[in-house]
Structure 1
């Protein structure tokens, strides 16, 4: 019975990739640390996935990844296939005002659904503006694996 349930789940997950529609999003902005450009900061564009079955972990889909340039600026766009609408966000991983603590500080910035486009190329880019990394952000955490 467990084998049949697992087989059904795998078949459904595979079908989602085949049947799901391609959707895209893009975001750009500038990061600073104590007023100076935050250079080389890792920024990732994800689609938030929520588990639909109890006990099943569905990890978020990485759509794009990059680092800030010499001005602290980033510009990311990516796409993924989902049956339902995607819920994009950017994740920022940094060491601003972090001392010698292990891993990196991280937080998310949600991208409003009006910036989601059907197809592989986003029609509009979400302007996240300038974010100062020296402060603390709501739901900020730490990440060693990114």
Structure 2
């Protein structure tokens, strides 16, 4: 990993055979968040002095309003912004609520939705396959 690259974390939150995903807008030619939309796991950058487990708990609370009960390392994944450490996160009961990105620095929303995406299984009794990023071209 490039030392200048910010460490990133993401949360795999599974409930009832579905994973919680955040719908985001990328920056368009104007520099505003009016570009292509995509679905991603809740997550973001690790702050200086913060450990990855604390970062994923913070990101889950900021982006979904849910409280993380337990955090377990799951896997590493390539994201457009760099390699991301993904954690399996168990959350308290309740419905997720779309948060606001405190670091955005502009008045255009980056996060525009939350949804539970059904997960395919690898086989009849196999584990779920968890996407890290999905295109949002289709409604």
TM over 0.5: no
Q: Higher strand fraction: Structure 1 or Structure 2? A: 1
Q: By percentage of residues, which structure has more helix?
A: 1
* TM-score with structure 2 setting the length: 0.29
So what's the TM-score if we normalise by structure 1?
0.28
